[in-house]
A and B are shown apart, each in its own frame.
Chain A
């Protein structure tokens, strides 16, 4: 098992390299970092030349990538272009945990910005994912066990409509109903924007009530999609012989369903969830934007629109890393769920 994990991690390294090269090339051709740094003022040409030498922008792209990867503190830079090198580079490179400085928020590194926002995203995403997994399993199993009943048909039709819904539509509609109209009708209404009411402060109750609508919008769409999947997997499994055997040897219904049917039906489901989870880190851009949640998604879109390449690059690499780790975890869970799979 340990050997398997090590082998998988070693295999992940070239994949992460390919991804980082692809993203790096994409981002280098976008925007002008020097203009971003200058803000509203236009940078003087001599400053531009000096800055681009300091930041290594005058180098060919493969060298820029090397600097990004392993830093440039081993390279001498000729800042004033007089032929004699003046100083060593400042950057340490991604491999030593330096994603560069934010071009927009001066004096902060990209990693600091990400670290500020990551907890907010996790606070929103972990409860959301628990709710999504719980309800999609319950709804999916329930409708599989009552196949073709009225409830099953209602659930399958409802979930089909739900998973065709774009998340922004659900978010806007739920905001309109539960916040705007509930207030109009004098009912207790939910807050729409932000993480807490600045007048009250960041208390547990405040954050929890602000989470309801974003979690509702995200989970409605996800539960619809997942529960359809769980239902079809369960249907396939409960018609198998070993389920009949389990009933025949006198196991209780619950034991058969959870111990035998669900465990087998969950194998493809785990793959699906394992693919989706890391994307929650950056994929909730829409939800976070609509509900004004100060998380990674908002950070991403805010800094992308202002061409803050180091931050955008950092977020994308972090998500890719999460993808690789989640795939590994998925495989491990796989082996636990299905004893036929052995990692040797």
Chain B
């Protein structure tokens, strides 16, 4: 009798249910199913390899050499992507410009997320007068069209900061200005999302419980509520990188963004439309790199949105 009981009580290892998947594993599984998002990850990795790996083949000094005797040369074996209006090698410039464009996208995103989350969290958590002041400010910012505002700020500030050195490279000071300007003019959407989530989450029991145990407000905001709103923040942050890259390209394209000689994919296009007939390689290469990068980031964002969707997560296997 006794032996029988013990036998039935101890199931074989194979019968043990697998431990439930962690949230991150679940998200990863769902993300993998989104084929375009996976393709996006690959393209983006390729782009990063291009911008970083390229430094082993072309030096930065080479990307800055001007030689007007070879201006507007068509792509050839010497200059694979051709040369621009002052005879600089476009291939080398797309490599070093890519570093800056990706860097701008990344840091502007971080800035945007910090500002957007802080404003949204404070407005949503504390409510009251603080909320209405912050939201009126957000509305005012939303009412100023972003591109003209970027142009105004870019034009005003881009020549005010002296060049800086970082990672052994000399940057035009305008890079910092553009990062700050893009980051500080694009946080409004995120702030509204975060605020809306905070408004509903602060009424939940776990927040009341945290308050009852005497948890500080700061800790409730960042350790209790914020982790519960991570999904929309992650998606917005991903898409923000693409938007920042495009914004930089817009501003630099019009000649008020990152100042030459520092190359970005955007300012390489500045004036390219003047040579639309004679030198299409001026815009085809940097333009395609922007399109590929933005497209791949948008696909990743789309995949993350599907993978992180709470409605989909609960019914996932």
Interface size on B, residues (CB 8 A): 40
Chain B positions within 8 Å of A19 at CB level: 140, 143-144
Using A19-B144, A279-B145, A320-B144 as known contacts, say yes or no to A30 and B156 having CB atoms under 8 A apart. yes
Using A300-B151, A305-B256 as known contacts, say yes or no to A15 and B276 having CB atoms under 8 A apart. no
Using A164-B242, A172-B273, A176-B280 as known contacts, say yes or no to A285 and B148 having CB atoms under 8 A apart. yes
Closest to A22 in B: B140
Interface string of A285-303 (1 = CB under 8 A from B): 1100110000000001100
Is the CB of B193 closer than 8 A to any CB of chain A? no
Closest to B280 in A: A176
Please measure, in the bound complex, the distance between the C-alpha atom of A81 and the C-alpha atom of B153, giving whole angstroms.
34
Please measure, in the bound complex, the distance between the C-alpha atom of A316 and the C-alpha atom of B155, giving whole angstroms.
15
Is the CB of B152 closer than 8 A to any CB of chain A? yes
B305 to chain A, nearest CB (A): 12
Please measure, in the bound complex, the distance between the C-alpha atom of A15 and the C-alpha atom of B141, giving whole angstroms.
10
Is the CB of B254 closer than 8 A to any CB of chain A? yes
Chain B positions within 8 Å of A290 at CB level: 273
Interface size on A, residues (CB 8 A): 46
Is the CB of A1 closer than 8 A to any CB of chain B? no
Instruction: Let me know if A324 and B143 touch, CB within 8 A.
Output: yes
Chain B positions within 8 Å of A173 at CB level: 287
Interface string of B14-36 (1 = CB under 8 A from A): 00000000000000000000001
Instruction: Let me know if A164 and B298 touch, CB within 8 A.
Output: yes
A37 to chain B, nearest CB (A): 18
Is the CB of B231 closer than 8 A to any CB of chain A? no
Query: Which of B56-64, B115-123, B289-297 has 4 or more CB atoms under 8 Å from chain A?
Result: B289-297
Chain B positions within 8 Å of A166 at CB level: 246, 249-250, 287, 290-291, 294
Please measure, in the bound complex, the distance between the C-alpha atom of A341 and the C-alpha atom of B47, giving whole angstroms.
49
B254 to chain A, nearest CB (A): 6
Is the CB of A319 closer than 8 A to any CB of chain B? yes
Please measure, in the bound complex, the distance between the C-alpha atom of A172 and the C-alpha atom of B256, giving whole angstroms.
19
Using A19-B140, A166-B249 as known contacts, say yes or no to A175 and B155 having CB atoms under 8 A apart. no
Instruction: Let me know if B151 and A160 touch, CB within 8 A.
Output: no
Closest to B247 in A: A166
Please measure, in the bound complex, the distance between the C-alpha atom of A163 and the C-alpha atom of B145, giving whole angstroms.
19
Is the CB of A283 closer than 8 A to any CB of chain B? yes
Using A164-B291, A166-B250, A168-B250 as known contacts, say yes or no to A175 and B273 having CB atoms under 8 A apart. yes
> Which residues between 9 and 33 of chain A lie within 8 Å of chain B, taking CB atoms?
15, 18-19, 22-23, 26-27, 29-31
Instruction: Let me know if A316 and B144 touch, CB within 8 A.
Output: yes
Please measure, in the bound complex, the distance between the C-alpha atom of A15 and the C-alpha atom of B148, giving whole angstroms.
18
Is the CB of B187 closer than 8 A to any CB of chain A? no
A-B contact pairs, 28 of them (CB 8 A): A15-B139, A18-B136, A19-B140, A22-B140, A29-B156, A30-B152, A30-B156, A157-B36, A160-B36, A164-B291, A164-B294, A166-B249, A169-B283, A169-B291, A172-B283, A175-B273, A180-B276, A192-B276, A285-B147, A285-B148, A300-B151, A304-B155, A305-B155, A305-B255, A316-B144, A316-B152, A320-B144, A324-B143
Which A residues fall within an 8 A CB radius of B?
15, 18-19, 22-23, 26-27, 29-31, 157, 160-161, 163-166, 168-169, 171-173, 175-176, 179-180, 192, 278-279, 282-283, 285-286, 289-290, 300-301, 304-305, 312, 315-316, 319-320, 323-324
